[in-house]
Amino acid sequence: MNENKLIVCSKTVMDTTDPNIVFNREGESNYYTNFVNNITPFWKNDGLKFKELEKISDKIKKDSKNKDFDCIIGISGGVDSSYLVYLAKEILGLRPLIYHVDAGWNSQLAVSNIEKIVDKLNLDLHTDVIYWPEMKDLQLSFFKSQVPHLDTPQDHAFFSSMYNYASKYKVKYILNGGNFSTECIREPLEWHYHASDLRQIKDIHSKFGKIKLNKFPTADIFKYKIYYRFVKSMRVIQPLNYIKYIKSEAIDLLVKKFDWKEYSHKHYESRFTKFYEGYWLLNKFGYDKRKAHYSSLILTNQMTRDEALKKISIPPFQDEIEDDFEYVANKLEISVNDLKEIMKGENKSFRDYKSNFILINIFTKLLRFIGLEKRIIQ
């Protein structure tokens, strides 16, 4: 898409690289109007719901008093999950089991940050190391499929592994770092399709994979949204939505208390995600996920629109791209030239492969109707 012809929201930095974006006469996008009309009446970043969070915490403790752990928290080493662990243990007094999924792309910085948090808070850490031959085969299948959502294999492994573990060991409460403060705008489906669509994962792998996925963890959206919730009575809590959560303040606290090290951008604790979001997605498809991330911070008064526009005018990757090409290619056991040839291939979308998009879309609309989903998913 020609950058010169992009239409940009007057209140955020979301633009027509999302083909489904809609503008009103004032140039405001549906992302902005949805935030004003559907999120702010329900949520404000003022911490006034903390008492409600304390009540939830008390119930978690009561329901789990005879168990080794009150709840389970997935940690990546990023800001949100790291701060959530601190909040749960130090502020709420919970006894969480910390769960980490190693999908083969961890940066040393992420590993170090996780160790610092867990050791300083004296918590138990369970790490699920995904069987690399299968993970590699699935990841390479997604590259060959030419779809933009290359992070689906690791994202699917992250949540399915933890949910399946929690179900197996009867851990009722899952705490995650999802929040409106830094994520009130979801990345468009054209950029980032549902990682929970197991039908699409299987279809892409059947076309491009070479080995069977016998050990790779799976759980489609209906399993973890319906079966685990209504049959297994598991509950997902997002504590960061109940407190005043300011990203810069969370980073400052983590640095001071744990010597936690900051990443250059959201999700860059994974070397793959850094390469994929910072270079591949932007240069092959023209999709810049920073626009959604910064737009969320604009709407929650943590960044000005001018600051965001200045940031996205600078490419996230500068001189180190060749090193990252070599790293990713070596991990996938292909040549750098092969990886670059894949990048030159014809772009595809999630619509080019089998999926449960229609069912998921109906389910998402139902969640929005009953108020359980506030963000636009388009």
User: Tens digit of pLDDT for each residue in 322-350?
Assistant: 888 999 999 999 999 999 999 999 999 99
Q: Is 38 exposed, middle or buried (0-12, 13-18, 19+ CB in 10 A)?
A: middle
Per residue in 75-84, pLDDT (tens digit) is: 999 999 999 9
pLDDT tops 50 at residue 2: no
Per residue in 146-161, pLDDT (tens digit) is: 999 999 999 999 999 9
CA angle at residue 353 from 31 to 199, to 5 degrees?
A: 90
Query: With a threshold of 0.75, does the pTM exceed it?
Result: yes
Comparing CA positions, the residue from 240, 86, 76, 78 lying closest to residue 159 is 76
What pLDDT score does 224 carry?
83
The pLDDT confidence band at residue 363, using thresholds 50, 70 and 90, is: confident
Q: What is the dihedral of CA 170, 270, 211, 197, to 10 degrees?
A: 60
What pLDDT score does 1 carry?
44
Measure CA 64 to chain center: 28
pLDDT tops 90 at residue 144: yes
**Token pair in block for residue 14:** 């979301």
The structure tokens 């626009």 sit at: 291
Domain ranges of the chain: 33-291+337-369
pLDDT tops 80 at residue 318: no
**DSSP E strand boundaries for the chain:** 71-74, 96-102, 125-129, 173-175, 235-237
CATH assignment of 33-291+337-369, among 1.10.10.60, 3.30.565.10, 3.40.50.620, 3.30.230.70: 3.40.50.620
**Token pair in block for residue 51:** 């008492």
**Token pair in block for residue 236:** 């997902």
What pLDDT score does 366 carry?
82
Comparing CA positions, the residue from 295, 264, 310 lying closest to residue 32 is 295
Query: How many alpha carbons lie under 13 Å from residue 120 in its C-beta half-sphere?
Result: 17
For residue 174, the cross-strand partners are 72, 236
Is residue 200 a contact partner of residue 354, using CB atoms and an 8 Å limit? yes
For residue 128, the cross-strand partners are 101
Run of H or E including 223? none
Per residue in 13-49, pLDDT (tens digit) is: 999 999 999 999 999 999 999 999 999 999 999 999 9
The pLDDT confidence band at residue 4, using thresholds 50, 70 and 90, is: low
Per residue in 215-273, pLDDT (tens digit) is: 999 998 889 888 998 899 999 999 999 999 999 999 999 999 999 998 766 656 678 88
